[in-house]
């Protein structure tokens, strides 16, 4: 029961991405980070630090969605996020 509660708390705190281009960027990067490790994320942060499309790497409204996607990719499971917010 605790697992279900914890999952719901985490999943419900994730804001889904309405912008399909941004969602694709986040989803693809999360997949690469899950496969290639945190070093890939650090490299991307350095290269894209001035790119507003990658601001989710540092904080902001889609940071939790990005973290959720990395975690689900690492776990090999994906729950489709279909809502707006």
Question: How far is it, in rounded angstroms, from Cα 50 to Cα 9?
Answer: 32
How many structural domains does the chain have?
A: 1
**Domain coverage including residue 33:** 21-80
8 in a domain, yes or no? no
29 in a domain, yes or no? yes
Question: How far is it, in rounded angstroms, from Cα 61 to Cα 55?
Answer: 9
Measured CA distances, 79 to 43, 48, 54 (Å): 27, 27, 23
According to the model, what pLDDT value does residue 1 have? 47
- Give the predicted TM-score (pTM) of the model: 0.74
Task: Identify the three-state secondary structure at position 81.
Answer: coil
Does residue 4 register a pLDDT over 50?
no
Please report, for the domain that includes residue 28, its CATH number: 1.10.10.790
10 in a domain, yes or no? no
28 in a domain, yes or no? yes
16 in a domain, yes or no? no
Question: How far is it, in rounded angstroms, from Cα 18 to Cα 56?
Answer: 14
Does residue 31 register a pLDDT over 90?
yes
According to the model, what pLDDT value does residue 80 have? 52
């Amino acid at each position: 029961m605790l697992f279900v509660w914890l999952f719901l708390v985490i999943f419900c705190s994730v804001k889904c991405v309405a912008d399909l281009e941004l969602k694709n960027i986040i989803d693809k990067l999360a997949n690469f980070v899950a496969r290639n490790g945190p070093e890939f994320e650090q490299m991307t942060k350095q290269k894209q630090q001035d790119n507003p499309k990658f601001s989710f790497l540092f904080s902001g409204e889609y940071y939790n969605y990005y973290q959720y996607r990395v975690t689900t990719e690492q776990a090999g499971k994906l729950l489709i996020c279909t809502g707006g917010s």
